Every structure is written in structure tokens, then in C-alpha cells.
Amino acid sequence: KFSQISRSYDIVCLLGRSYRCKCRPPARDQFQEELVIRPLHSGDIYASFQFRTLWDTDFLQERQKKVSHYRLFPKSLGQVLSKFSVRELHISFTQGFWRTMQWGQPFIPSPPGAELWVWFHHTVSDVDGNWKELTNVLSGIFCASLNFIDMTNTVQPSASFKPLGLGNATDHRFLRYATLPREIVCTENLTPWKKLLPCGSKAGLAVLMKSEKLFHSSFHSQAVHIRPICQDEQCTSKAWELRQTLNVVFDHYTSGQGKKEWSLFKMFSRTLTEACPLASSSKVYVDITDNPELFELSPATHLLSRAVVLGDRRTYSVYDLTRAETFGQLRSFNLLLRWKGDNMLRPLLHAERYVAGFGLQTGEIHTVIYNNHPYRAFPVLLMDSVPWYLQLYVHTLTVTSKSRDNKPSYIHYQPAKDRHRPHLLEMLIQLPPHSMTEVTVQFERALLKWTEYTPDPNHGFYVGSSVVSALVPSMVAMSTNFTQDQPLFSSFVPVKEESSYFVRVYTEPLLVNLPTPDFSMPYNVICLTCTVVAVGYGSFYNLLTRTFQVDEPSPPLAKRLANFIRRIRGVPLLA
Amino acid sequence: MCLQVLAACYKALSDHHRGRYAALAIAAVVIVVGIPLWWKTTETYRAWLPFSEISELDSLQLQLSVDIEVVFSRGTLTPEQQKKFPLSHVNQKEHQFLSLSCLLLPPTEADLSLHMLSESSCGSVVVYVIPESAALLPEDVKVYVGQRRTALLRSPPFKSSWSLKEVLSNLDMEVEQVVSTMSFSHQDIVAALSDRVRMAKVTKESMADSMRAIKSSPGYEITFSLLNPDPRSHSLHWDIEGAVQSCIQPLLNKLAPIANFSVDSQILYYAVLGVNPRFDNSVSAYTLSADSLSHVINPVEARLGSNAASSNPVLNFLLYVPDSHHSPLFIRDHSKREVPSNAFHSPRWGGIMVYNVNEMYGPEAERPVDININMAKVMGVFLAQLRLMLGVQHTHPPTGFVLQSPGSAGLADWELDRLLWSRSVENIATASTTITSLAQLLDQIGNIVINDNIAQQVSSAVTSLQSAVAELEAGNLAFALQYSREAILASERAFFDPSLLHLLYFPDDQKFAIYIPLFLPMCVPIVLSLLKIVSEAKKKRADKQAKSD
């Protein structure tokens, strides 16, 4: 590359209007950042970053007025939205498995590997074509192997994935859902994710994201959620929301020699020095619901925030990074926390899954869903997407709770087509209070073509997590009113009623062994068949072309020997 | 007894014959049915390609022709000469109109009214010859080139005794100069082909022009980025939407026949240049020297982001507002002088302009300082750079030429024509190299499957190429460009078709190795029995000969 000095040109733009406009329109986009730290009862620390960009524009306008001038919203994602007419996009990359029993509910759940679900606008005619192209573009943006999403692992769930944003689209023809349980998440996925932030990793909370610390953790999940939302309570104007979330669980109990003590510097090996100057709010929340019995926090803050999150009333210490006094004398903010005690909390809804059976022909998938609520029964939606090479026997589907048959009130089953489409099984199950519900279904393993095996077929084949979505009855009243100053972590899923809250639980992905052939087999087969054909042909040829003559039987060996001896002796030969 | 022996003899003989016939029949079946069957089932599908026409493209002769209309205004020719004019050459009405009105108008308006007079088609040139004494043009101006496709030429002195032929031949020189200014010169065409064809005779200037210009493509993405490395001190506002509407869009509308353009803008925060500017005490300012400019782009480029929605080439225009600790920042050229535009460009990539804002606020201003960017100043520079990138070559008119400034669109009609000429030639060259190299590749590697749709793309590319060449010869520039674009699209689609790579690579020796266990046992008995039959036949003939002897 070489550069040249531009000559200056006297080119006069005929400017239609003055550029020194004194009145400045109010900023049409805004940016918020937030970090929530929750000490978990297992001794781990859960840190959840949320970055939200709001922009009151419409990407789905008609062609003439394409959105093309970006400020805080990343250009690459905006172009994707308008090109593919995307209404809602949710993408997550997760390394590790969220242990609901030990850690409780996450703020935004995600399955291991990569998950992508997209609602397209209802004007899209070729949804599958758009989906194919979109996955390829996203795989370029996020440096991930999303291009492996094709029709064999894409499903259209009928009930489990409703739009989270504005508009209640119900036609699931415009929904596509796919998971890649095998996807490995690492630094190369984090870097493009950070680049989408207006401040990058140069200022604000994002300076804490040092990849060697983030990936040295028990659980790492990064996600991008884009959806249209209401600007205000009356919903007079629409805005697009880009929410970037990053959830990490650090295991400091084992690595910290049994001392339950952590600080920002210990977790991220950085401290905070400033908020992102473009952010309209920049806050750090620390969950101190169990304070003061369990731990102490320094520096202490008198700013407290109470919020009802996931059916539980929590108290948070709030540190506002846009205020100078947060950073104190040293102009650096390092949070320190010491633990004193311990206790345990059971999540109300929990699910797990495993594969049973032996041999390489048949097997059984068990999904176990726990309702730990002492006295309330509630329905859950279970969604399973199983690849076509596990051929499900739906007649063996049984749902039992408390050792009694539990008939699902709604079942949506879409059978697989070999090499084209996976199985999709969705059902609505009523979970009795304080119970364990077991869903089992048998399957047979299919034989793949030799080119369809992955490079390491003996490792096994992944089956994505099942998704359990439920409105869990809340112990306390949820707040349904829409206010802007709600913390971000509690405002992701809209709360429709006071008595319940929405929870999505992902089970473990399964790893299933399929019968694996010897891969030098094709050549052996060719050689063997050729030899068999050649032998058959040879005898046939002989039969056709040879002439057979009756031959004088030669005298037996004893007689010949005798004659030989006789000849030597000169005695007359035997007849 | 004798009968019995005869029968036995006959049986032996017929048995012997039967064996021989069976062997021959099997050999015949293998050769007639077996081998073609095997060949047919294992061969790769290869659709027919017009190889001969493609090889003709390899040595393509381009002939460009321009329609030139020379109009003599009243008073340039003597009545004697006019009489000899063939009627088809002159339009009486125009002639009069010109003489009546235009001579009273200043050249700008004359140009417009001349344009109204005759709607000249794309690629053509109209030369009006005005009398030597006409006051329309200033004294020392020989040729005036308007905004459209017209030029006014002051006629050289004619002798009234000259015949028309002599008059025309006397004009030839001037008209040729006008045409090489307004449509194309040999140099331009050679420069447009320089990437495809190795030619020595290219001037440095036109070579640099063609290297600066981005390659011909069906579409371009133009991205304006505002780099704000210090959002804590500066809160920058730019009305990019309005500026694009009023400055860039007219030019792009004008260029619409060449390619589709899409314009985007973004603001990048904390984006810094790759080099640290040096502080110069003499002017108390930071300076970037010309040598260090080449290191500026790479670190910034990582932040720009590629265009996710299309694969067209991107032209980047960056407006860099230096942070308060490094301003003012000036760019210096090779001779250590400050560049008045404070901007530079990188060929085929885009341009960067440095915009200093330190004078717009005092030291005690509250941070962040709100700053409105003067878009007229910025867009003037970017527009000039955009013209360079798009290959609008700046012409060097011979002395005595006056060029009308391009006006609000930023591009005169004849400038567009110049661009269209070189683009059509370049497109034709690109498409023909693509097609010939594809044909060469397919010819060399026999294992590649050629699907019907590839064959179709190739032949449509070839036909479009041929029609583009024909249109160039006929002087229909607009059609030529359109065909050449079609040719490029079809050839690229054929070249990058993924189905060309579908077949797993099986070399012939491996294919034969796999079939050896079948072929060897089958062929050995056939060959041996054929040899035996031949040797028997020879022996028989020898016996017969001996007997007859």
C-alpha cells in the first residue's frame, strides 16, 4: 500500500442547507452498560455484563430509505438486519455448562455451544434462503462456525420461542432455531464481540474483559440479542435494542486456597478507571441480599437498589461509574468482598438429561424435570431437537411424574427426514408440586454414509440441549410496570403478570456414539467384489471355451513305480 | 469303423471351433459392450464449451469508434464550399439557430442551448466550428469544451478557393485533439488494459491514474467513517446524511450507468492512527510526514469492519479528528510543505482527512466539547478523492483549450464518456481473461465436472463479449458498457461456481489401481486365447501354403 497526498480541489458542493445548524436534534441513540456481580452459594462468583444500545430507527423500512448512517449501533449488524429483514436475532456462544442446581438461575440462559434463533419479518418470501445466507454472514462477523447450520439442524419450534420484543408474531414459519453443541468458544469469538461496543475495550466496563481471565473460568457465555422494543409505556414509538451480554462464573473457591475472597482485580486482573464516555448510564451492581451475615464489601456504598429478579427479592449495592466519587482518591475502582458463612438455595425449576441403553443399535433419551416448588403445580414447555441419525420411536414416548403417567396436554411432533430435517418434539407438561417428571423416548441409531462422518467419529455425535421454558410461580410479586431506570439484568424478558416469571432452562447436550465403520472399507469392498467377479468370470470363461476330451486314465503310482523298476531290471512290464 | 472315426474327428473339430468362437464372442462382448459401459459410468459430466470462440477472445482486436459531428456555423464556409456539401452533412435548421442566438450569448449558455439543439447520444462528440472572427470566445482561446458533449472550435483561416476536402483535412488536426480530450486517447485505453496486458508504452501519469482507480466492478460500497479517538474531550456531530445528499449523491446519480453505489457512514470511537505524529516546534503543531502515511491505515482498517451485506469493493473515506493532546495535526508532503487540504489518499482503498478542532474551543471549555463539523469543507476533499478512486481522469488539455467546470453534478457528460470508454475496455479485458483462464483450466484438468449452468454462463459471457466488442466498433458506447458488464457478471459467476470443486480429486492412476483386481483376471484369458487363435490361424495358413506347394 502506498499513499499519496491529495491535491486539493476547488470543487463546490451546492449545499442545500447550512451545516452550522444551531439546533441539534436530541440523540436518537443511547448506550448503557452494567455489571452485576453475584456471589453464588457454591462459592463461585457470577459476573454478568450487559451492554445495551437503543436506537429509534427502523431497519425494515422500504428500500428507498435504507438506514445507512450509524453512530453507536454497529454498522455490520445494522446492515445484516436490513439486508435479511430480520425482526429479532438472538445468538449466544457458551463454553461450559450452567449448573442450575448449584448456581441458581442465570439472568440470561444459554445452552453449551452456539445457539441462534431468528424471527424474520413477515414480508420475507424465501425464509430458508435468507437463513442460509444470514448464518454465513454471522459466522464471518463472529468468527464462528455458524456456517455449519443447515437444514439438517434447523427447526421451527411452534411454541417454545416466542418473540421477546415488540409485536406478537405467531406464525412460526418465520422462525428458525439452530444449535451447534459442538462449537468451541474462545478468544477469536470474543474479539469481534467486543468490537461491536461503541467504546470497544478501551473504556468503561469492557476494559475488564481480558480474555485469558474470562476463559479461565467454569462458565463463559457471550450473547447478542437484537429486537424491536417500545420506547415508552404507551408504545408510541419503536426502537431497536441491541443487547450484548457476557456471563462468566469464576471458580475462586478452589483456586483461592479455600478463602472466599475476591476482588475485581483478582477476577479480571484489571480495575475500573472510568465509565465509557458515550454511555448514558454505567453501573456496577453487587448482590448483597445475604449481607451482612455472609460477607462484607469494600468500598461500602450507601446506594442500594431493590429488585425482584427471577421470583426473588434481591438487594443490590450500586456503584455509579459516571460519578467521580466512585473512583475515590486513587482514581481506580476495585471492589473487594469477603465471605463469612454459607447456605444453599434450591432453584424452583431444574432439568437434566442423559442417554441410556447399551450397544450401538438402540438407546433411550431420558429428560428429567424437577419442580421444587413446595405446593404449586405449573406447566412447562419442553422442546427437543434431535438430529435425523437418531431415529426416534415416538410410540415409546412416556411421561411419568410421581410414578404415574402424565399425559402432555399439547404435543407438536415433526418427524425427521433423512439428511434433510431433524426431529422436533415440543410438548406442554404439567409438573405436579415438589416432583420429578421423567420423559423418555427410545431411538435407533442410523448408519451414516461414509462421507457423513465427522473427522473424529469415535468421539461421538452431539445432540443439542433440550429447552424447558416455563412461567414459574413467583414467591413474591413481580413488578410489571415499565420503567426506564430498571436495572438491565432484570428487564430482558418482559414480565406480563405479577404472579409468575419466565424462565428458560437448558439441559446438558448429549454425546451419542454411532456405529462407526472402518474407513478403509470402500477399497476393501471394491477389491473383494472385483475378485469374486473375476473368479466367477474365469470359471465361466473356461467352461465356454475349453473342449473336454476323455483321456486314458494313467496307471496308478504303484504300478508305474513297479514298471520303472521292472524296466531297469529288464523284466517284462505289467499291463 | 471308419464312420465312427469320422464322427469323432468332426466332433473334435467342431468342439475346437466352438471354443474358438466362444472366445471370440466374449472378446467382442467385452470390447463392444463392457468397455463403453465402464467408460460411460465412470466418466465425469462435461458440458460442451465454445472453446474455439474462447480461443479467439485470447487475441482480441478492439476497434473503438466515435461518432463525431462537425457543424459549421454561418460564416465559416464560403457559399461556394457550402454548395459542395453533401446534404446529409449539414442540418440547415441548426445552422441558422446557431448563427442567430448563440453568438450573442456567453459560452456557458451557448453550450446549454447547443445541447438542447441536438441531443447527442452517449459517447458521441459534436464539434461546432465557428468563424475565426467570432466574439463568442476570448481572443486566445482556440477550443471551448462544454459541460455536455459539445465543443466550440474556432476555425483556422480557410482560403475561399479551397475545396471542401481541403477544408476538412485542414480541420482534422484540431478535431482529433478535441476528441482525444473529450472521449479517449490511446494512452487512456492502454492504461485501462495495463493490468491485463503487458505493454511498455504507458506514460507514468496515466499509469498512476489507472493504478489509483479502483478496479471495475458491478457495485461499490462507499463508507464514510468519523474517527474520534478522544470521546471524553470531543463530542462530534456531523450531518453526513445531508452532506451525502447534496455533495456525493449527484455524482453517484451521474455515474449510475457504470455501477451501483451504496453509501454508508459510521462513527468510530477510540480509533487511533497507527503512527505517532511528531511535534514540530517551529510551527507548534504535530506533523505527519509523507513517508509515515503508509503506516497509518493498517491499524485503523481493523476497526472499520468489512461490509457484511455485500461483496462489492469498499471505498473508505475517513475523517480523523485528532485528540486534544495531539492537535493541531498537519500532513506534510515530500517537500516538507503542509498539504493545504490536510488529506491524503491510498490508491484503490480510499482517503483520510485530518480535521483539527483545537481552535474551536478554549482551554477552559467544559468537556466533552460539542463540535459541529463543517461538512462542506470535508466533502469537497472527499469528492475530489472519490473522483480519483472512480477513475475520472483529470485531463490535460492542449494549450488554447478551455474546459467548462463540471457544475453541480461534479462531472461533465464528456468526462463520464471518457470513463465509460475506459471502463468498457477494461471490462472486456477482464471478462475475456476470466473466460480464457477458466477454459484453460477446464481443458487442463479433465476431472472437473462442467455442469450445464456453467456452460450456459460461459456461452452467455462469450456472446455478451462479442456483442460488446461489436457495439464498441459501431460506436454505441452505452450498449457496449452494458454488454461488457453482463459479460463480467456471467464470467465471474462461471469462474467462482462452487460446483467446479465438487468432485473429489481422483487421479487416473488411482482409478485404474482400484479396477486392477477386476481387469487383470478378465483380460488375461481373453488376450491369451486371442493370441492362440491368431497363432493357429497363421499355422493353418502356413500348412495350406505348404500343401498347395
Do residue B520 and residue A69 have CB atoms under 8 angstroms apart?
A: no
Read off φ and ψ for residue B387, nearest 5 degrees: -60, -40
For CATH 3.40.390, the residue range(s) in chain B are 219-390
Q: What is the pLDDT of residues B150-177, one digit of tens each?
A: 666 666 666 666 666 666 666 666 667 6
In A, residues 359-418, which contact B (CB 8 Å cutoff)? none
pLDDT confidence band for B261 (50 / 70 / 90): confident
The residue type of B471 is E
| Cross-strand pairs, A411 | A427
Q: Does A2 touch chain B (CB under 8 A)?
A: yes
Q: What is the pLDDT of residues A90-115, one digit of tens each?
A: 999 999 999 888 888 888 899 999 99
In A, residues 78-97, which contact B (CB 8 Å cutoff)? 79-80, 82-83
A92: part of which helix (H) or strand (E)? strand A86-95
Strand residue runs (E) in B109-218: 125-130, 143-145, 150-154
Instruction: For residue A223, give the C-alpha cell.
Output: 450473547
CB crowding B102-115: b at 16 or more within 10 Å, else e: bbeeebeebbbebb
Residue of A nearest to B297 (CA): A1
Residue of A nearest to B306 (CA): A76
DSSP B255: T
Which strands form A423-431's sheet, in the order they lie side by side?
A410-414, A423-431, A378-386, A467-473, A500-506
The residue extents of the domains of chain A are 30-339, 349-512
- Distance separating alpha carbons of residues A572 and A570, to the nearest angstrom: 7
Mean of pLDDT over chain B = 75
Answer whether residue B402 shows pLDDT above 70. no
What is the model's pLDDT at position B288?
Answer: 84
* Residue with the larger pLDDT of the pair B104 and A572: A572
Mean of pLDDT over chain A = 83
CB A34 within 8 A of CB A24: no
Instruction: For residue A45, give the C-alpha cell.
Output: 462468583
CA distance A386 to chain B (A): 29
> Which range among A185-194, A221-230, B195-204, B320-329 shows the weakest confidence by mean pLDDT?
B195-204
What is the model's pLDDT at position A400?
Answer: 94
- Most B CBs within 10 Å: which of A13, A76, A89, as the mutation test of the B interface? A13
Answer whether residue A124 shows pLDDT above 70. yes
Do residue A538 and residue B240 have CB atoms under 8 angstroms apart?
A: no
- Most B CBs within 10 Å: which of A29, A69, A226, as the mutation test of the B interface? A69
Helix (H, G, I), strand (E, B) or coil at B258: coil
> Which range among A238-242, B9-13, B465-469 shows the weakest confidence by mean pLDDT?
B9-13
Query: Within 10 Å of residue B449's Cβ, how many Cβ atoms?
Result: 15
SS in 3 state form for B332-359? Answer: ECCCCCECCCCEEEECCCEEEEECCCHH
Answer whether residue A465 shows pLDDT above 90. yes
Q: What is the pLDDT of residues A492-551, one digit of tens each?
A: 777 777 788 888 999 999 999 998 888 777 778 888 888 888 888 888 888 887 777 777
- Distance separating alpha carbons of residues A196 and A226, to the nearest angstrom: 13
- Most A CBs within 10 Å: which of B30, B383, B505, B518, as the mutation test of the A interface? B518
Nearest to B71 by CA among B125, B108, B116, B123: B125
Answer whether residue B407 shows pLDDT above 80. no
- Most A CBs within 10 Å: which of B38, B230, B267, as the mutation test of the A interface? B267
Q: Which residues of B touch A76 (CB under 8 A)?
A: 305-308
Angle at B304 between CA B298 and CA B306, to 5 degrees: 105
Q: Which residues of A touch B296 (CB under 8 A)?
A: 3
Q: Does A74 touch chain B (CB under 8 A)?
A: yes
Angle at A85 between CA A84 and CA A86, to 5 degrees: 90
Q: What residues contact residue A398 under an 8 Å CB cut-off, 6+ apart?
A: A405, A438, A439, A440, A441
- Cα B214 → chain centroid: 9
Do residue A5 and residue B26 have CB atoms under 8 angstroms apart?
A: no
Which whole number is the average pLDDT over A122-136? 91
CB crowding B471-510: b at 16 or more within 10 Å, else e: bbeebbbebbbbbbbbbbbbbbbbbebeebeeeeeeeeee
Domain B219-390 has CATH 2.60.40: no
- Distance separating alpha carbons of residues B265 and B318, to the nearest angstrom: 10
Answer whether residue A308 shows pLDDT above 60. yes
Do residue A14 and residue B246 have CB atoms under 8 angstroms apart?
A: yes
What is the model's pLDDT at position B502?
Answer: 64
- Distance separating alpha carbons of residues B506 and B494, to the nearest angstrom: 23
- Distance separating alpha carbons of residues B536 and B532, to the nearest angstrom: 6
Per DSSP, the residues of A488-515 read GGGSSSPP--TTEEEEEEE-PPEEE---
What is the model's pLDDT at position A364?
Answer: 94
- Distance separating alpha carbons of residues A46 and A394, to the nearest angstrom: 39
Query: Within 10 Å of residue A417's Cβ, how many Cβ atoms?
Result: 12
Q: Which residues of B touch A13 (CB under 8 A)?
A: 243, 246-247, 376, 379-380, 383
What is the model's pLDDT at position B206?
Answer: 62
Question: Could you tell me how many residues make up chain B?
Answer: 549
DSSP A464: P
Number of H helices, E strands in chain B: 17, 15
Query: Within 10 Å of residue A508's Cβ, how many Cβ atoms?
Result: 18
Q: What Å distances lie between residue B499 and A159, B45, B435, CA to CA? A: 39, 12, 16
Which whole number is the average pLDDT over B178-202? 62
CB A104 within 8 A of CB A88: no
- Distance separating alpha carbons of residues A400 and B447, to the nearest angstrom: 58
- Distance separating alpha carbons of residues B411 and B405, to the nearest angstrom: 8
State the first-to-last Cα distance of chain A, in angstroms, to the nearest integer: 106
Angle at A166 between CA A161 and CA A172, to 5 degrees: 35
Nearest CB among A5, A15, A537 relative to B376 is that of A15
Q: Does A257 touch chain B (CB under 8 A)?
A: no
- Distance separating alpha carbons of residues A488 and A521, to the nearest angstrom: 57
- Distance separating alpha carbons of residues B166 and B39, to the nearest angstrom: 72
Residue of B nearest to A523 (CA): B514
Q: Which of A423-437, B293-307, B348-362, B523-537 has the highest mean pLDDT?
A: A423-437
Answer whether residue A484 shows pLDDT above 80. no
Single pTM value for the model: 0.80
Answer whether residue B111 shows pLDDT above 70. no
What is the model's pLDDT at position A381?
Answer: 94
- Quote the ipTM score: 0.80
Angle at B407 between CA B405 and CA B410, to 5 degrees: 95
Which whole number is the average pLDDT over A352-356? 93
B99: part of which helix (H) or strand (E)? helix B92-101
Measured on CA atoms in the order A82, A84, A87, A91, is the torsion positive or negative?
negative
Q: Does A278 touch chain B (CB under 8 A)?
A: yes
Instruction: For residue A90, give the C-alpha cell.
Output: 438472538
State the first-to-last Cα distance of chain B, in angstroms, to the nearest integer: 33
Q: Which residues of A touch B294 (CB under 8 A)?
A: 1-3
Query: Within 10 Å of residue B170's Cβ, how many Cβ atoms?
Result: 15
- Most B CBs within 10 Å: which of A31, A63, A68, A79, as the mutation test of the B interface? A68
β-bridge pairing B369-372 and B234-237: parallel
Do residue A83 and residue B308 have CB atoms under 8 angstroms apart?
A: yes
**3-state class percentages of chain A: helix first, strand second, coil last, to nearest 5:** 20, 35, 45
Q: What architecture (CATH level 2) is domain A349-512?
A: Sandwich (2.60)
Q: What residues contact residue A472 under an 8 Å CB cut-off, 6+ apart?
A: A311, A348, A349, A373, A378, A500, A501, A502, A503
